[in-house]
Structure 1
């Protein structure tokens, strides 16, 4: 996990796919040489013929830099600042998740709609 990637976004991602739902998420990854790169990931659960989740599939695209600079990076910085207020990383993740939910609620959108509108 890249240190600029809020834990709460990974929580949201895993909550979605473990519930059988797809998700689009902006993710900053760390490369082997220590550099980083951004992707817009589309992650979906893979299911067997009975509908049971047997794995996950991810397609990644190069994101729009303007969206990163004007929306995603500032949002992630706020979420990371909230996470940093807590000595326990799990508490920080939950606090930043609650913060994200609050931001979305104030905008009267669900996460999926928020991402789709960008």
Structure 2
């Protein structure tokens, strides 16, 4: 599906009692998206199912955070992370995502399940947005995208090491 790559700068919101839910296969292709996901993404179910979850990736979301996410969930662990997503029309919306692997009876990962809730505005503005800007600046300072992502990833790991916490602990420490 061709996407409009224009960003509007308009932020979309959803209610605190709403949960965005999606499920993917092991490669990250969407197999389920609830009505809240579809509404915020501005997409129909037909446009969504079978697409890579990255169909809603916002260019201001550091690739290093997605590397951490994929490294974590593909190893069988869950992860909480703040994410900015992009709607089909170029709007954006922030979420606090909880991503977990789904296993078959033999313990093999058969897909991933993500629940997203509203993001804490104060945490976004005071911690996450500045951190993500720093990581993006590092990523964009390299001609080679993979080198940029890896340097930003190493920077993120150093920040966590200096704080003496794992990523989930860092995210939980930000919650009020």
TM-score (norm 2): 0.66
Query: In the alignment, which of 58, 63, 79 is matched to residue 114 of structure 2?
Result: 58
- SS of 2:94's partner is strand
- SS of 1:66's partner is helix
- SS of 2:157's partner is helix
State the 1:6 CA deviation.
0.1
- SS of 2:156's partner is helix
Residue segments in structure 2 that go unaligned for 5+ positions in a row: 1-56
Query: In the alignment, which of 93, 99, 102 is matched to residue 158 of structure 2?
Result: 102
- SS of 2:139's partner is helix
Rg larger for: 2
Query: In the alignment, which of 73, 78, 89 is matched to residue 129 of structure 2?
Result: 73
Quote the residue 2:64 is aligned against.
8
Structure 1 stretches (4+) deviating beyond 3 angstroms?
none
State the 1:51 CA deviation.
0.4
Q: CA RMSD in A?
A: 0.6
State the 1:54 CA deviation.
0.2
TM-score (norm 1): 0.98
Output the CA distance in 2 between the equivalents of 1:107 and 1:59.
27
- Equivalent positions of 1:3-42 (< 5 A) are 3-42=59-98
Quote the residue 1:115 is aligned against.
171
The number of residues matched between the two structures is 118
Does 1:45 pair with 2:106? no
